Amino acid sequence: MVDFEHALIGEALVGEGPEVAHIDLVIGKKGSSVEQAFVTALASPARGHTPLLAVLTPNVPAKPSTLMVNKVTIKNADQALLIFGPAQAAVAKAVVDSVAEGIIPEAEADNLLIIASVFIEWDAKDKKKIYDWNYEATKTAIHRAIRGEPKMKDVLAQKDTAKHPFA
């Protein structure tokens, strides 16, 4: 049984090049600090950073309710359309599929909130890669959050050999 009383944190990086997907997310119950962060972020857009709900299609939001926060400042309409299009659809579908597959218990879906930080590089263009890789990264990050992965022993085992792809 998953302890949803405390924030669960997940991360995943999938793909390569300008369409690389990097998702950081937090899952928590309504009434928790995650809800406070969710509402604060949604009510506090800034130039180039507009939090948005992940929706499967207009009027059909993901459940658990999922707030997307872009990591890269949106500088133009083309980039905005990638966030508000394939990235948004991919994150929403990954969340809902996680419920359908039992990763997130359906009985908890209305009580939980997810905040997902989404990376869309300025040079990204390929909508299919953006969709596919953000879907996979979101699903992986959810799995890791729910399972508490990676475990500390795995982190310690890799601490001296790990190579960061952007370092």
CATH of the domain at 126: 3.30.230.60
Share of the chain above pLDDT 70, in %: 99
Output the six-digit token pair for 56: 């499967």
Does 15 reside within a domain? yes
Assign 47 a pLDDT band (cuts: 50, 70, 90): confident
Does 163 reside within a domain? no
Share of the chain above pLDDT 90, in %: 77
Q: How far apart are CA 62 and CA 141, in angstroms?
A: 16
**Lowest pLDDT segment from 6-15, 44-53, 57-66, 137-146:** 44-53
Q: How far apart are CA 86 and CA 107, in angstroms?
A: 28
Q: Is 22 known to be catalytic? A: yes
Cα-to-chain-centroid distance, residue 30: 18
Does 94 reside within a domain? yes
Q: Is 92 helix (H, G, I), strand (E, B) or coil?
A: helix
Does 164 reside within a domain? no
Q: Quote the pTM value.
A: 0.94
Structural domain count, the chain: 1
Range of the domain at 64: 8-158
Instruction: Starting at the earlier edge strand, list the strands of the sheet with 65-70.
Output: 8-14, 21-29, 112-118, 65-70, 52-53
Convert 4-68 into a string of H (helix), E (strand) and C (coil).
Answer: CCCCEEEEEEECCHHHCEEEEEEEEECCCHHHHHHHHHHCCCECCECCEECEEECCEECCCEEEE
Does 85 reside within a domain? yes
Assign 137 a pLDDT band (cuts: 50, 70, 90): very high
Does 141 reside within a domain? yes
Does 67 reside within a domain? yes
Active-site residue, from 22, 49, 143, 164: 22
Does 35 reside within a domain? yes
